Structure 1
């Protein structure tokens, strides 16, 4: 599945013995970042072994998605051509625009509208690479 494809919720539910939800790595990374899953995993550790295992599995999937470096993959960004970029790399609006195929002005408009998280560094906007990937996936849907 590419980032441009949309799947209905039923596509993620599987299982004959009871419903099981398959969570893509990109979604696990989003949940970990925006739903504070690290804090939940730490606070609830030991309360329920199955919950512990699922929260760890989500963390592993999120980490794997962040490290993915396969060109054309729907799991993260190709980092082979940019080895200096890490998981917490911040991009300028121009770099972000180049990566997602829109104009610099379009990136700034998304920031102003609150659709793309960013912060000011002096007189420039800085965008986290992971936030940009989530924004790109949201645009595709």
Structure 2
């Protein structure tokens, strides 16, 4: 499975000895970025060994996804060989539109609908590469 199809929540729950949730690497990266899992992992280390192990496993899965997609965990920059105008860590709506093969207006609509995270800087929207990859994966589903 490519990880891009929508699956019902029950598809991620497994286990006979007790429920276990399987978390895709892209989702682990999203959680790490938006739920501050790194802070939780370091701030509560040692409180529960099983929780420690799961949080480390999520970090490993997130790192593997980032490596596979070429997205850096530090700045959201794409580490693959890119043309010069795409090598920055943040993209304009026009650059994002070109990478997604949609219009600039489509990118701005996704931002307005809160489907694509972006930051307003002056008179333009800037999009982190990792947020763009999450949006692309969700869009493909």
TM exceeding 0.5: yes
- The 2-side partners of 1:62 and 1:4 are apart by 16
| Unaligned ranges ≥5, structure 2 | 71-77
| Unaligned ranges ≥5, structure 1 | 71-77
Q: Deviations over 1:92-125 (max 9, x none)?
A: 1112112222111111122233322111333322
Instruction: Kindly report which structure 2 residues correspond to 1:45-64, keeping only aligned pairs within 5 A, or say none.
Output: 45-64=45-64
CA shift for structure 1 position 4: 4.1
- The 1-side partners of 2:49 and 2:3 are apart by 33
CA shift for structure 1 position 34: 1.1
8 Å contact kept, 1:90–1:126: yes
8 Å contact kept, 1:3–1:140: no
Query: Are 1:105 and 2:85 an aligned pair?
Result: no
Equivalent position of 1:74 in the other structure: none
Tell me which moved more, 53-62 or 88-97. Answer: 88-97
- The 2-side partners of 1:13 and 1:23 are apart by 9
Aligned residue-pair number: 134
Q: Deviations over 1:67-115 (max 9, x none)?
A: 1148xxxxxxx853428778x9211111211222211111112223332
Equivalent position of 1:23 in the other structure: 23
8 Å contact kept, 2:3–2:24: no
Instruction: Kindly report which structure 2 residues correspond to 1:1-141, keeping only aligned pairs within 5 A, or say none.
Output: 1-2=1-2, 4-69=4-69, 80-82=80-82, 89-141=89-141
Which SS does the other structure have where 1:68 is aligned?
Answer: helix
